[in-house]
Every structure is written in structure tokens, then in C-alpha cells.
Amino acid sequence: MLPQITDYIGLMGKLKYNLDRYKKDNNIYELLDCLMTLNAIPEWIVNSKNTKTSLTQIAEEKLAIMKGKNGFILDETKLSLNINHQLRLIRLICNHSKHKTDSILIPRIQKKYGGTLPASFPIKLYNIIAIGENEYDAEYLLNSVANFWFDAVKLENENFK
């Protein structure tokens, strides 16, 4: 049976699938799949008919932050520890990078060598999200935001695994 995505729980399943593929292949296509799914999750939660109020409130709050309802301030020095800045970065990549300008403030995704010796093949080339001179490990950011949403959904749905 083919999986179906009819609500945010289905989208969370897609996120797990995307993350597994990305961790295996480390391909930029899978990275973008993960980012696009993470960008969509709060809207799917907000628009779901079967979401508990507390989860909807979390999603509404995070969506407002992502959209810059109270001002879009991205402090890249706080990306490694602050979910709000990570969510802003994802929104920036998914919704604004397509209108890329020459600004150094628009994130760019780059490959960096990550192989070590003795090497096992295929050697992973790590994806880095760069903003100006600052570089961030893409997989770390994906895992941080994904775990935030997995934990929020688990609190509301005992059956979610």
C-alpha cells in the first residue's frame, strides 16, 4: 500500500522518510526535500481539523516567527541553539532563496569535504548552509528542527512514533 499524506501526521512520516534518505545519500535534492517539508509542517498543523489546541498554538506561534509577523530578525550566531532562528532560516531558504539576489544574507548550500582516513566509500561530502562568512552543518540543523516537531507531535499524540 502506498503511503498517503492527508494530514500533518502523514507529513511527519514524509519527514522521517526524507531524513533517512538524506542521511543515507547526503544529496542536495534530499536536503531540499527535508527543508521544504520542515517549512510546511506548521501550516499543516494549523490547518488540520484533528489537532489539539496546544499543538495548534505551538504551530501558530512558530509560523508567525517564520513569517516575521513581529519583524524578521535572523541572528545567525544563534542558529546552533535557537529553534526560532533555525525556523527563520528554513523559511528564508524555502521562500526567499528562489528570489536570490547578490546579498550575502541569502543562504547558499555548499558541499564541503568530510571524508576521513581510513576512508569508507562512498565518502560523504557534507552539506553546509552558508550565510556570508558563517557556515552551518545542514544535517545538524535538519535534526534540530525535525526533533522539535517530533517532540511537539508526540506530546499531543501518544500513538505517534
Domain assignment present for 112: no
Cell numbers placing 110: 555548499
* 115 part of a folded domain: no
Give the per-residue pLDDT at 116.
47
The total number of structural domains that make up the chain: 1
The DSSP 8-state label assigned to residue 102 in this structure reads: S
- Residues 147 and 22: their CA atoms lie apart, in Å, by 15
- End-to-end distance of the chain based on CA atoms, in angstroms? 19
User: Residue 25: what pLDDT?
Assistant: 83
Structural contact between residues 11 and 40, judged by C-beta atoms closer than 8 angstroms: yes
Edge-to-edge strands, sheet with 108-113: 108-113, 125-131, 134-137
Residue with cell 507531535: 153
Q: Which residue has the cell 552558508?
A: 130
Is there a domain that residue 151 lies in? yes
Distance CA 92, CA 115 (A): 29
Residue 117 belongs to a domain: no
pLDDT at 62: 96
Domain-located, residue 54: yes
Q: Which helix (H) or strand (E) holds 136?
A: strand 134-137
**pLDDT score, position 40:** 97
Domain membership of residue 20 (yes or no) is yes
Q: Is residue 51 included in any domain, yes or no?
A: yes
Local structure of 126: helix, strand or coil: strand
Q: How many whole angstroms from its chain centre is CA 75?
A: 17
pLDDT by residue for the chain (161 residues), tens only, comes to: 677 888 999 999 999 999 999 998 888 889 999 999 999 999 999 998 888 889 999 999 999 999 988 888 888 888 888 999 999 999 988 887 666 666 656 666 666 655 544 445 555 566 888 877 778 888 999 999 999 999 999 988 777 77
Q: How far is CA 133 from CA 74, 80, 94, 96, 106, in A?
A: 15, 15, 20, 19, 12
pTM (whole model) above 0.75? yes
**For the stretch 33-48, what's the b/e string if a residue is b when 16 or more beta carbons lie within 10 angstroms of its beta carbon?**
bbbebbbbbbbbbbeb
pLDDT of residue 137: 87
The overall longest dimension of the chain from CA atoms, in Å, is 52
Res 134: pLDDT: 79
Give residue 12's domain range.
Answer: 8-102+137-156
